[in-house]
Amino acid sequence: MNKISAVKAFAGEQIQYEHQSDTLNCTMKFSVFLPPQAQQHRVPAVYWLSGLTCTDDNFSTKAGAQRVAAELGIALIIPDTSPRGEDVPDDPDGAYDFGKGAGFYVNATQAPWSRHYQMYDYIVTELRELVERELPLSGERSISGHSMGGHGALVMALRNPGLYRSVSAFAPICHPTESPWGRKAFSGYLGDDKAARTDYDATLLIKERQAAPPLLVDQGTADNFLAEQLGTDALKQACIAAGIDAQVRMQEGYDHSYYFIASFIGEHLRFHAKHLSYFGKK
């Protein structure tokens, strides 16, 4: 881990690192907020997965999460959304919803994407093991995300029972096999493998597994992607049918932007804190 920058914030530290990823076969950047409690003892973490076109900078600079994270004694782990670098293939037409910035948190199986686009394994295994080895983290973790990152957070939590204490999402792509964004990404990264596509669809995973960790979803009613892309109601109905006590909240008048995230990020962090028994208090 190479430290690129560090600034003091709320008596803690906001840091950006880079490292060579063996999983993605490229150099990756990620950001971390360490609360002031981390100067005294190990702390739990919330992993944040960002949406289409974003990097780790978007959440770090726009969400305003550090104040509450410092209060609760929770670290924030903020990876990039996709592999980066000159050798990493990108959408040949320069589309924003495929290629760099649009990794969809899957393990690609199709050429030329499979060499680099292994974001699922990168988040679940490589990055987690790296930061928990090198930083003052307790090993207790929750996961959250926005849009494409909300999809990633839900899928990772559902597919790895016990790995994350809780999961939350803002405007997630809940049913990507029925979303134009999801169908495009899955077709390119996964080909015609229907089973693989099911493994990256939160709604289908809930129907199949009939279980989930503590789950909170916030969705704005003024989100211009809601009707065509996000599938929030499908997720809600799957949770009801499975008897899962998930909180799926429709927030009147909010859109898809970071203003929406900043409005409710404190509630999400406090939701996770309830399930992180360490709480930064030991």
- pLDDT tens figures, 52-105: 999 999 999 999 999 999 999 999 999 999 999 999 999 999 999 999 999 999
Concerning whether 256 is annotated as a catalytic residue, the answer is yes
The 3 state secondary structure assigned to 141-203 is EEEEEECHHHHHHHHHHHHCCCCCCCEEEECCCCCHHHCHHHHHHHHHHHCCCHHHHHCCCHH
Sign of CA dihedral 137, 151, 125, 123: negative
- Is it the case that residue 277 has pLDDT exceeding 80? no
Q: Which CATH superfamily is domain 2-275 in?
A: Alpha/Beta hydrolase fold, catalytic domain (3.40.50.1820)
Question: How much is the mean pLDDT over the chain?
Answer: 96
Active-site annotation holds for 175: no
**Lowest-confidence segment of 37-41, 69-73, 253-257, 276-280 by average pLDDT:** 276-280
Say if CB 74 and CB 38 are below 8 A apart: no
Inform me whether the pLDDT recorded for 44 exceeds 80. yes
Note the pLDDT tens digit of each residue in 168-189: 999 999 999 999 999 999 999 9
- From 138, 147, 168, 179, active-site residue: 147
Catalytic residue among 146, 256, 268, 272: 256
Given pLDDT bands bounded at 50, 70 and 90, which one contains residue 133?
very high
Kind of pairing between the strands at 247-251 and 167-170? unpaired
Show me where the domains of the chain are located.
2-275
The sign one gets for the Cα dihedral 256, 145, 17, 117 is negative
The model carries a pTM of 0.96
Q: Which of 56, 80, 201, 223 is catalytic?
A: 223
Confirm whether 223 is a catalytic residue: yes
Q: List CB contacts of 2: < 8 A, sequence separation 6 or more.
A: 17, 18, 19
| Pairwise CA distance, residues 182 & 49, whole Å | 16
AA identity, residue 225: F
What is the per-residue pLDDT for 49?
98
Q: How many residues does the chain have?
A: 282
| pLDDT the model gives residue 278 | 52
Q: How far is Cα 39 from Cα 137, in angstroms, rounded to an integer?
A: 11
